[in-house]
Amino acid sequence: MKLFSFTLLTGLLLSLTTFSQTKKSISGSVVDKNENTPVRMASITNISLGKTTVSRTNGTFEIEAATGHIIAFSANGFYADTLVLREETYLSGMLMLTLRPLPSTLTNVTVVGSMNAYQMDSVERRKSFLQDVGEKPIPTVSKATDLGFGVGVSLDRWSKKEKRERKARDIFEMMEEEAYVNYRWNEEVVGKYTTFKLDELIEFMDRNRPQYLWLRKNPDEEALLYYINTALKKEKKKKG
């Protein structure tokens, strides 16, 4: 798992929830809300710890967490969502996450003009988020909602609406960064330059998931090829 930068949100997250200091690895599964089918390569981020993992071919994953931690999850072609880890779920050790497909996934929209698939989906996610913020209160952290972005922020916790919305936007932007990593660091590209298949490929991608800022600074596929080759050499050296 790769550590995830969330400096801007540290104070916010500590004030949002009171959570247990006892952490453990919990299992989970990510499914398509409409089709009830597994979603592979979904990114699951424990915002409270700043750690991210991805779902395997059958949609399953494991992530370290504790009661009260905020879990964000997303995948290419889906709206992002969040939930808070309640005590009963933590004790059961099982998370069931559902993702709602974006319009581009449902209608098989062809990418046209100057916008790529990530940009088109990002525009749709942002539109949905802004509607949530501007037209109705943001729900208190409780569970994933059907709004496409069940952001874990309670409007009652701050005195100024602008401050509350800014915090919500911070979380949204963090999740958009994860969506960009998902878009660039995908099975098609990584699989083309390795011999890995299925879960072996996903596990390699999980172990070596690049950081958002590095991907932004290196937009071409040649840089990714160099990154992949370096990761392969390091893993080969570790195995001896």
Residue-by-residue pLDDT tens, the chain, 240 positions: 333 333 333 334 444 444 446 788 999 999 999 999 999 999 999 988 889 999 999 999 999 999 989 899 999 999 988 888 888 888 888 999 999 998 865 555 454 556 678 888 888 888 887 777 654 444 444 444 433 444 444 444 444 666 667 777 787 888 899 999 999 999 999 999 999 999 999 999 999 999 999 999 999 999 999 999 999 999 988 887
Residue 25: which residues within 8 A CB-CB, separation 6 or more? 62, 63, 64
CA triple 53-64-41, angle to 5 deg: 15
Instruction: Say whether 81 sits in a helix, a strand or coil.
Output: strand
* Pairwise CA distance, residues 19 & 27, whole Å: 19
Length, in residues, of the chain? 240
One-letter identity of residue 103: P
One-letter identity of residue 126: R
- pLDDT at residue 145, rounded to an integer: 41
| Domain 2-172: CATH class, spelled out | mainly beta
Q: How far is CA 67 from the centre of its chain?
A: 19
* Pairwise CA distance, residues 172 & 159, whole Å: 21
**Among candidate residues 179, 197, 175, 180, the one with its CA nearest the CA of residue 188:** 197
